[in-house]
Structures are given as C-alpha cells and as structure tokens.
Structure 1
Amino acid sequence: MAGRITSQFDRRATALDVIKGHDLSGRVVLVTGAASGIGVETARAFASAGADLTLAVRDTAKGEAVAADLRKATGNDRIAVGALDLGDQASVRRFAADFAASHAALHILVNNAGIMATPEMRTKEGYELQFATNHLGHFLLANLLLPLLRKGAPARIVSLSSIGHRRSPVVFDDIHFKQRPYDKWAAYGQSKTANALFAVGWTRRFGADGITANAVMPGGIMTGLQKHMPMEEQKALGWILPDGSINPGMKTPAQGAATSVWAATAKELQGIGGLYLEDCAEAAPWKEDAPWSGVLPHALDAEAAERLWSVSEEMTGLA
C-alpha cells in the first residue's frame, strides 16, 4: 500500500512507550470509558505527559479510584472524573454541558468506551444498545463539544473501532434490528463500522478547521468487554486456550492503548484524518489470508459515512 503512514512502534509497543517525549502540559484531554481496560492505560499515558485530563465514566466510584491511582502514580493532580452513560442521550447532554462549563477548550477527545456482544437490549428511544452506545453516544458527545474543539484546534478525535467491523457494514435499512433477527455480532460489527465511518465523516466536515478524527483498532485484549461472552464461546474463538490461559497473541491493556495514544499525539498524523489505524500505523486493506488485521472498504466508504452522518443527526436530535 503505497504511501501508508507508519511509525517507529510495532504491535508490542505500550501507551507509555508512545507518549515518551511528549509534553501535554496545558492540553485538555477527555477519555471515555477510562475506568477499566485500555481506557485506564490510555488515561495513564496522558496523565504521565502532564495533560489536564477528564475520565468520563458510567461508574464514578470506579472512576475516582482510577483517578486517585493515576494522580499517585504520575504526580499529576489535574485529573477529574465525570459521569457519562453513552447509552442515555440525556446523560451525554448533561456531561457535555458540565464539561463545557469548566473548560475553555478541548484538544484531544478519545471515544474509547464501548460494549460488545450484548444480549438484545434497547435504549428508551428504541435504539439497539450497541449501536446507541458505541456510535450514537460518541457522535452526540463530539458534536456537542465541537465549540471547545474549535477553540483547541489543532485538535484530534480518536474513535475506537475494531477488526469486528468485518462482521457487518451499517445496515441502513434496519440498523436497530426491527425487521431482522437480532445477532449480537452483527450488531457489534455495524457499530464498529460506524465508529470508523464517523472518522471519515467528521474529518470531511471539520478537518479544514484543524479538527481531525481517526479510527483505531486496538487489537485483541482481554478486558471487561468480554463480560457477556461465556467461557466456551471465548475458547471457540481462540481467545482462551483449552487449558484456560489467554492466547499469547492477545495484547495487554497497555499495548492495546498504544495506537490510541499514537493517534492522539503522532506528528505523522498532524492535519490528517479519516484513517483506520492499527499497531501504530495506517492499516492495510483486509485480506482473507490474514483475517485478524486490515480494514474492509465498507468502513472507509465516503458515501456510507455521509448517510450515517445524516441518520445519526436525526437519531440524536442534532438534525
């Protein structure tokens, strides 16, 4: 793939490796889902670089415990916690209003939070929960914080996607499984495709204003994301070996956070958006003989990104 953007880091690099040498003093950073998993390690890297950091979390008690740990570990006292339930649009609006009231600008937004392979559940609007949480909540949040991102420009958004995007494009005729039978993996897949298409649509609109967005595939990591999956299913997928140990091909949370941090800080990506990144590089096209890496065309399709933007505005009341 000619002209593909790469870096000095590989898939085993950690978030702290990537942040080394960066000074984020005076920079405002917001990370969603920062109370567990790779969100904690993403936040740790930003805190270690001196950022003014906010952890946006559903469980504020867990969030405060993480914040206390990060303050002690990094010596950075500028770490706040805010309550955010991405599946509840009223919660997103409350969080955005509170954040805007206490910050003059925003420089880095990491849309990290997510859910995976859940039983069929819906929001009060009737939206399928994985699409609503993983995509719509973050779409609404970013748009509500646009004035702060404009003041922070050049600013960056990191949108957490997944190789799971290969399981489904966005099925515009039935996003919320009202006509077709619910499939937890198809639902997850289209939400992760939506996360990638968001980066395409966002950069098309606001890249010229100095606010870019890129999608990130963090890699396979064992975190709380698997909580809805029985152990036998995890073994069948090869994530857990027959003896109960974790597949050695999995990343640690610190390694999983590396590409998010790279997307947020790399000089190679200054002014560049609309990409799908993995292992601290721009992903190559997906190939059948290497199914656990790469990006499929439907996740970067400009026409689909425009259609998704329109329906997302309607579903969030931003139209």
Structure 2
Amino acid sequence: MITSGLDPYTDASVVVAGKDLSGQTAIVTGGATGIGIETVKALAGAGADVVIAVRKRDLGEAAAKEVNAAMGAERASVGMVDLADLSSVKAFTAAWGGKPLNMLINNAGVMACPLSYTADDLEMQLGTNHFGHFALGVGLAGALRNGAKAGRAARLVSLSSIGHLRSAMNFEDPHYRSRDYDKWAAYGQSKTANALFAVGFDKRLASQGVNANSVMPCGIFTPLQRHLPHEEQVAMGWYDAEGKPAVGFKTPAQGASTSVWAAVGDELEGVGGLYLENLAEAGPYQPGNRFGVAPHALDTEAAERLWRLSEETTGVSL
C-alpha cells in the first residue's frame, strides 16, 4: 500500500512544503470554494500557475483575487466552463489547445440534488460529475501529454467519494429514464464513475507520461451540501445534538490534502488507477467502516464499459 506518511488531518499546504512547482500549470474545476480553493492555494503557494475553472465568473474572480493577494503574485486566473453543458466543455478544451498542462484536478461536483437534467439531457449528477469531467479530461489529454516531462508524469486527479458505496454503475438506465430516482444512489453512481474514469484514463495514457488516480477527500462541510437541509444532515449523523460537526469531519484545508498529494506526491510518480484517501492508497472496504474502496469502483471491465458509453455520450475520444 502506498502512503504519504502524513497524518490524515494534515493541511494541504503541508503536503507541498519544500516543493517547487514553478513553471508548472494546473487546472482545478470548482476551484472557487470549499476544498477547491484550498487545492488552488496549496498549488499556487508552491509556485504553480493555477486556472480556477468555474461556471460563475464572479466567484472565480473573487477566489483568484484572494489567492493572488495571499501569494503576493499573479498565480491564479479564471477559466469559464460549465460541466453540465458539453458545448461549454468543448469550447474550453478547444481554447486551451495543446498548451502544456501538468495537473488537472477534477474537483467540481453536485451532490444529492433533486432529479434534473443537464443541457445535454443527462441526469444532473452523473452528467456533471462524470460526463462533463470525462469530456474535459479527454479533451485536454494532448495538453497533459505535452505537460509530461522527463522523469515526471503529468497527472489527472478525479474526485470520488465514499458515496461510491451507494451504487455501482447502472448501465441499463444510468439517467433514470425508467427507474425511480434516488438522489443518493445517483450520487453514488456518479462517484463510482469518477473512480472508474481514473482507471480507464490511466490505462490509456500511462505509457504516454500521464497518470490518473481518484481521491476520496473525506467528510467536509462545503457548498457541496447546498441541496441538503440541515435537519437531514443531523439525521445522517453529520452534526451532533448541539449542532457541532461530527467527529471525523475535516476542514476544507485538510480535505484538500489528498487531492494535492495525488497531484504532486513523489510516492505516486508513475502510479495510476488507484483510489486514494487519507493521504494513502485505500484498502478494501469492510462493512461498518467509513473508509475503503468497493471492488465495483476499480473494476476494469466496468471501466471499459463506462469508457465506451462516455465516448458515445460526449462525442469525445482520444
């Protein structure tokens, strides 16, 4: 098992301590809030140029201003992309072209929303969390190849979740056309897809100097919970009776640490297709635990089936 050797509650800034990322470029989707902006701060703090990829310009510009002020340098900029609209993703990747990219952190996401559909008539959670990021990652594959350097691979980081335990991929009806909608099963399916995407991406790009891993950031209170009433979060045990976060939840800076490690950790050089959590490679899920990865999230046959479906759905391929 690969590990960083760091405590699971380490801040992201500690993960990059002593590293010089000058001359490297990263894109962080959803990088304006939550663990996204903490990921941006850590990478920029180590010298990287970071593009905050968002759908709301005002949030992106505010985040970039905050980061640049803290760094005393212009290291963060804003890129506009709506992951729930494949035409927006296509425009973003076309504008980027082949400019070298060293790190792509697919951080943005939607969780437990009411049944709704993207601009391309895809179930919102799967459409945004997976298909949007699939189109982005594959569309930027050439840029990542160009970002790979001698002795240093470019990296794609796909944000998954322990929520993947709630559902494997349902290939018969992934978009809830005929089955009853369950917001948590839909979220789980999208998080399984995020893990399977890293498996498929790494298989195809590792030999070309690009690795991909998925990440479980652990429980953090961020705008991701926007669709969940406080009462529901209390009922799920996320808050105690006094309204305090349950033991085990992380701060956004701690929650970003595994994403940052996946992007820069020396222990992961040349390594891909893994599911990472708590600054280490995850072990198999054991019933009753809050950690671990289920076999369906790393299944190579499911990864191949999802890849084919994703190419057909998005019209994007390597």
Instruction: Using structure 2 for the length normalisation, give the TM-score.
Output: 0.97
Instruction: Provide runs of 4+ in structure 1 moved above 4 Å.
Output: none
The answer for the alignment partner of 1:212 in structure 2 is 211
Question: How far apart, CA to CA, are the structure 1 residues paired with 2:139 and 2:155?
Answer: 15
Shift in Å at residue 230 of structure 1? 1.1
Pick aligned residue for 1:295 from 293, 296, 313: 293
Partner Cα separation in structure 1 for residue 73 and residue 131 of structure 2? 32
Match of 1:118 in 2: 113
Q: Secondary structure of the residue that 1:174 maps to in structure 2?
A: coil
AA matched with 1:131:
L
Aligned position for 1:73: 70
Q: How far has the Cα of 1:218 moved from its partner?
A: 0.2
Write the letter of the residue equivalent to 1:183.
D
1:243 and 2:238 correspond:
no
In structure 1, how many angstroms separate the alpha carbons of the residues matched to 2:196 and 2:22? 31
SS of residue in 2 equivalent to 1:29: strand
Q: Which residue of 2 aligns with 1:310?
A: 308
Return the alpha-carbon distance in structure 2 between the equivalents of residues 250 and 78 of structure 1. Answer: 30
2:273 and 2:227 mapped to 1: Cα distance? 31
**Cross-structure match for 2:125:** 130
In structure 2, give the amino acid aligned to 1:175: P
| 8 Å Cα contact 2:135-2:314 kept in structure 1 | yes
Q: Which amino acid in the other structure matches residue 311 of structure 1?
A: L
Give the equivalent residue in structure 1 for 2:83: 86
Q: Secondary structure at the match of 2:105?
A: strand
Output one character per residue of 1:265-289: Cα deviation in whole Å (capped at 9) or x when no partner: 1111101100000011000100013
How far residue 93 of structure 1 moved from its aligned partner, in angstroms, is 1.0
Partner of 1:104: 99
Unaligned runs of 5+ in 2: none
Give the residue type in structure 1 aligned to 2:177.
Answer: K
| Corresponding residue SS for 1:73 | helix
User: What letter corresponds to residue 122 of structure 2 in structure 1?
Assistant: Y
Deviation at 1:78, TM superposition (A): 2.7
Contact 1:50 1:76 in 2 (8 A): no
**Aligned residue type for 1:313:** E
Kindly provide the CA deviation profile for residues 223-271 of structure 1, in whole angstroms up to 9, marking residues without a partner as x.
1111101111100111111222211321000000000000001111101
- What code does the residue aligned with 1:33 have? G
Preserved contact between residue 117 and residue 185 of structure 1 (Cα < 8 Å): yes
| Structure 1 pair 104–318 and aligned structure 2 pair: CA distance change class (3 A) | closer
Q: Of the candidates 4, 7, 10, which is equivalent to residue 7 of structure 1?
A: 4
Find the counterpart in structure 1 of residue 172 from structure 2: 173
- Counterpart in the other structure of 1:37: 34
Query: 1:63 is aligned with what amino acid?
Result: G
CA distance in 2, matches of 1:53, 1:44: 9
Which residue matches 2:225? 226
SS state at 1:182 partner: coil
CA contact 1:58–1:85 (8 Å) conserved in 2? yes
Offset from partner CA, 1:40-69 (integer Å, 9 cap, x none): 000000110111110001111111111011
Q: Distance in 1 between matches of 2:119 and 2:214?
A: 28
Aligned to 1:156: 155
- How big is the alpha-carbon RMSD for the aligned residues of Structure 1 and Structure 2? 1.0
Aligned residue type for 1:125: D
- Contact 2:86–2:120 under 8 Å retained in 1: no
Residue range with higher mean Cα deviation, 184-193 or 120-129: 120-129
Task: Kindly indicate whether the alpha-carbon contact (under 8 Å) linking 1:47 and 1:76 is maintained by their aligned counterparts in 2.
Answer: no
Give SS of 1:199's match: helix
Post-superposition offset of 1:98: 2.2
TM-score relative to the length of structure 1 = 0.96
Q: Within 1, Cα distance between the matches of 2:217 and 2:2?
A: 17
Asked whether the equivalents of residues 154 and 209 of structure 2 are also in contact (C-alpha less than 8 Å), the reply is yes
